[in-house]
Amino acid sequence: MSENIELNDFTQELIRQLRAADQFGNWSKMSDEELLIKKYVKTKEDLKQIPIIADIDEMLIGEIKMIFKAVALQFERKTGVMCNVVMEMSHEGFGRCIVIAGRIVLVDKYFKDAHRFSFRTIEKLYEEGQKYLDNSHEIYEQYKPCKGDD
């Protein structure tokens, strides 16, 4: 990893998820940082190569969902409360992803033009993912059920 980048809870979980999804070892020679950049970082120049209107492929949908799975799994690891990730995406890249713990929505993210989904820098990926995780803890603490509630 770069000297100035420190892995946070979210990023460690995202790397675990990506490595677990690599059934054939295609990414085994890549460093964690290289893998995250390949999957999630696009520069302005990269985005210019992607059409404004296009269909989204299933692989990209899975990569986007993996971000929210990492949030859910890290939340479960820290709290012991099981989470579900639900994602609906049209072929045009419009959709929504939510992370749910019981009856509580921890993360609610809408997408448009998801075929262009990315972060400008790896630091932004780390920051945004950790923000989702931190906010999910705050939301859960605010709305968690009292003992005896279902």
CATH of the domain at 87: 1.10.3100.20
Q: Give domain status of residue 19, yes or no.
A: yes
**Sheet of strand 104-111: strand arrangement:** 84-89, 95-101, 104-111
Tell me the residue range of the domain where 129 lies: 9-143
Q: Is the pTM of this model over 0.85?
A: yes
* Cα separation, 22 vs 57, whole angstroms: 18
Is there a contact between 88 and 109 (Cβ–Cβ < 8 Å)?
A: no
Q: Give domain status of residue 148, yes or no.
A: no
Q: Give domain status of residue 129, yes or no.
A: yes
Q: Give domain status of residue 121, yes or no.
A: yes
* Cα separation, 35 vs 19, whole angstroms: 9
User: In a structure prediction context, what are the per-residue pLDDT tens digits for the chain, which is 150 residues long?
Assistant: 444 456 799 999 999 999 999 989 899 999 999 999 999 999 999 988 988 888 899 999 999 999 999 999 999 999 999 999 999 999 889 999 999 999 999 999 999 989 899 999 999 999 999 999 999 999 999 998 887 665
- The domain total for the chain is 1
Q: Give domain status of residue 149, yes or no.
A: no
